[in-house]
Amino acid sequence: MAKLDELEELAKKYAQLKQQQDNASESDRVELARLAIRIIDSISSASFFLPLEKDALSSDGTTTYIYQNNATYPAIFDLLAEILHMTVPIEIGRVKFGPGEILVTAQDRSEADIELELSTKEVQKLVYARKAEIFTKHAGAAP
């Protein structure tokens, strides 16, 4: 299972290739599909986790989680938004997943932790459900 930092690098390669899509060769389209599928498989895996700092800030009914080392993941969230036909931040229930932080609307930290876990699993399911669509979009054939 790739770490989120590694997935961010793959998502950057995907974005660069996608910008050249008008002139994309067959091998470029296959590479786009391969990158997208690799990211989808990693995010959908049971061992996937978000590398969050242990301390979260709770204030006014919202808990804010930040990624370890203040990392940001703009490319991966742009790709997730594309896959899910959503905009960034990706909103699932009471959770807003963004490239620099995750916001959870909940009364306390324990409730926020549960909401975050449930919404992360929902994102995983939704992303996995789009796998064939993404593959077909780029490679022109079912996986």
Q: 9-51, pLDDT tens digit by residue?
A: 999 999 988 887 666 677 777 888 889 899 999 999 999 999 9
The boundaries of the domain holding residue 89 are: 4-139
74-98 tens-digit pLDDT: 999 999 999 999 999 999 999 999 9
Q: Secondary structure of 85-126 in the HEC alphabet?
A: CCCCCEEECCEEECCCEEEEECCCHHHHHHHHHHHHHHHHHH
109 Cβ contact partners less than 8 Å away, ≥ 6 residues apart = 56, 58, 63
Residue 34's Cα: distance from chain center in Å?
16
Average pLDDT, the chain: 89
Count: domains in the chain: 1
Cα 107 to Cα 63: distance, rounded to the nearest angstrom: 8
| pTM listed for this prediction | 0.87
The proportion of the chain whose per-residue pLDDT surpasses 70, expressed as a percent, equals: 92
Q: Which of 142, 137, 123, 119 is CA-nearest to residue 36?
A: 137
CA dist 127 → 49, 67, 71, 73, 133 (Å): 14, 21, 22, 17, 10
